[in-house]
Amino acid sequence: MTNERTTVATFLRKCNEYARASIERKIAREEPDEIARWEAYIEFNEHALEEIANGTLDRWFTDAPEHIPPIHRMDASTMEHVERSTWLNNVLSPRPVVVAATLDDKNRRNLAPMTSVMAVSTAPPYLTASFSVHKDGELRDTLRNLRSTGKAILNVLPATPLSAAIVDSTATPLPHGEDEGALMDLKTVEGETLLLEESVAAIEVHYVEEHPLPDAVAIVAILKVEAIWFGSNTPPLGGIDVLCQHGRDDMMPSPQGWKQRVEKHYGNQRK
C-alpha cells in the first residue's frame, strides 16, 4: 500500500506544481479568465492528498498487511549484541541519515554518515549525536574533529540512489586524515568545503559538551545549531523527502507519500 500511496500522492503534488506555475504565467500575461479553474483544480487535488494522508482512501489500496499486536516480550539484557542491534535498528526505523562533515586541526576533511542525530531542544537549539568507537578502541574521526575544531556541517541528503551511494562511500573506514569525499569526488557549495552540493539541506552545528553513556563505550555529544542551510529562505512546511536508514543497512526514501497532521499538543492556542 505504501508504494501505491506514494506514487499517487507524488503525482498529485506534481499536478499542483504545474497548476501553480500555470497560474503564475496567466498572471504575468494578464489573462485572468482561467485562473479560477486552476485554483479549483488545486483545491480538489489538495483534498485528495489529505484523504490519502488521513486514511480515508485506504479502501482504494487493498494490500494492507495484517496487524499483529506485540504480544511477545524479549528481554534485551539476554540478547547478544548483533541480535539486540537488529531488533532496535528495525523497530526504531526509518531514521534520517546525515553525512557529518568536519575538519581536523590540520584542516583535513572527514565525512561520515550518521543516524543518531536528534533534535532535543529548539530554545536554545540543541541536537544530540551518539558516537561509538572503532573495534580497536579508537574514537570516531567526527568526534575527534569536533573536540579539536568544534564545528560540523550535517548534510541532509535527498532520497536518491546517488545519496545511498554517498552514504556507502563515506562509511568506508579510512585512516585518520584521509578524505572520504575523495572516493567519489564529491562536489561542495562554492566557498564551503563541508557543504555537499548534493545535499537538500544542512545544519551547521557547534560542539558544546559530551557525556559518556553508563556502562557503554558510546559517547553522547551535545551540539548547538548555529545555522540551517536550505535552497530558499522559505521553510519546507510540508517536509522534504530525505534519505533514511531502514534496519541496519538498507537506505530508503522517507516520508512515504502520506501524512496526518496532529495538533492537540497546541491546546486551545496554536503557536
Our CA angle for 242, 91, 240, nearest 5°, is 15
Q: What is the mean pLDDT of residues 144-173?
A: 92
What letter would DSSP give residue 199?
Answer: -
- Beta-carbon-side half-sphere exposure of residue 44 (alpha carbons within 13 Å): 8
Alpha helices in 153-223 (DSSP H): 161-170
DSSP assigned state of 134 = -
Question: What pLDDT digit, counting tens, does each position of 35-83 carry?
Answer: 899 999 999 999 998 888 877 887 787 665 666 767 788 887 888 888 8
Q: Looking at the predicted structure, is the pLDDT value of residue 192 above 60? A: yes
137 conformational bin, left if phi > 0, alpha if psi -120 to 50, beta if neither: left
Q: In this predicted model, what pLDDT tens digit does every residue of 119-138 receive, in sequence order? A: 999 888 999 999 988 777 78
Cα(102)–Cα(169) distance, integer angstroms:
16
Question: What stretches of 97-235 show up as alpha helix (H) in DSSP?
Answer: 141-149, 161-170
Cβ(206)–Cβ(220) below 8 Å: no
**Residue 2 confidence (pLDDT):** 56
Handedness of CA 43, 49, 54, 59 (dihedral sign): positive
Residues forming beta bridges with residue 126, ordered by sequence position: 121, 224
DSSP H or E segment with residue 233:
none
pTM > 0.85: yes or no: no
Report whether 2 contacts 259 (CB < 8 A): no
Averaged pLDDT of the chain: 85
pLDDT at 233: 84
Question: Band of the pLDDT at 271, cuts 50, 70, 90?
Answer: very low
Q: Lowest-pLDDT range, 13-27, 35-49, 51-65, 164-178?
A: 51-65
- CA angle 227/212/220 to nearest 5° reads 25
Angstrom CA distances, 8 to 2, 105, 159, 178, stand at 10, 49, 17, 44
* Res. 261 pLDDT band, cuts 50 70 90: low
Would you say 194 and 186 are in contact if contact means Cβ atoms under 8 Å apart? no
